[in-house]
């Protein structure tokens, strides 16, 4: 299948959605069309205010390709539970993954989940050995901080004219450039 548009998604409330025009992938801009932060809204529950996914805005963002008559593939980070993660955080990520997959299928787009390690390795985002221990929470925190900083650094180098202000944006951009380089369909 040939596609007109690639939609790369970093799932999470601080994630992002990046659009690429596939026919322009060999251009220095890699065909980057737009970057949208993950749409969220405030919700008050039991006297607490928290951010949640704004489903209407997410659908509005995703349906752009369909409205323009473009065929699209959505490539997203394949999130899953890890030992030691908080139940609420895991539940939120998996809920967002389900919502995204449902919208993608309803819009008639193809989808491809991608492991974070796959696109990170492609871009040379491999933590130093001293940060690879899974046993110490301090090491995990340092590793996570290093991964975020490296992702932002590489995305900013690739797209100096774009506002790559957080790791959700940089991750979605790098997921997209991984797919474009690999030519996967």
Q: What is the CATH number of domain 5-182?
A: 3.30.420.10
CA distance 142 to 148: 10
User: pTM score, two decimals?
Assistant: 0.88
The SS3 of residue 168 is helix
CA dihedral 101, 10, 27, 159 (to 10 degrees): 160
| pLDDT tens across the length of the chain (185 residues) | 789 999 999 998 899 999 999 999 988 888 999 999 999 999 888 878 888 899 999 999 999 999 999 999 999 988 665 555 555 666 677 788 889 999 999 999 999 999 999 999 999 998 887 776 655 566 777 888 999 999 999 999 999 999 999 999 999 999 999 999 986 64
Q: Where are the domains of the chain?
A: 5-182
């Amino acid at each position: 299948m040939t596609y007109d548009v690639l939609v790369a998604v970093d799932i999470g409330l601080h994630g992002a959605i990046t659009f690429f025009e596939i026919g322009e992938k060999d251009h220095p801009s890699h065909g980057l069309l737009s970057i949208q932060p993950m749409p969220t809204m405030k919700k008050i529950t039991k006297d607490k205010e928290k951010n949640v996914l704004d489903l209407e805005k997410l659908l509005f963002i995703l349906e752009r390709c369909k409205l323009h008559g473009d065929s699209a593939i959505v490539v997203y980070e394949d999130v899953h539970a890890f030992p030691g993660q908080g139940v609420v955080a895991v539940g939120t990520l998996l809920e967002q993954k389900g919502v995204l997959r449902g919208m993608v299928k309803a819009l008639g787009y193809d989808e491809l989940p991608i492991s974070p390690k796959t696109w990170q390795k492609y871009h040379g985002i491999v933590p130093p050995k001293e940060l690879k221990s899974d046993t110490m929470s301090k090491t995990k925190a340092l590793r996570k901080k290093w991964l975020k900083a490296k992702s932002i650094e590489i995305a900013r180098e690739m797209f100096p004219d774009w506002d790559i202000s957080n790791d959700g944006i940089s991750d979605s951009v790098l997921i997209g450039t991984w797919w474009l380089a690999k030519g996967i369909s």
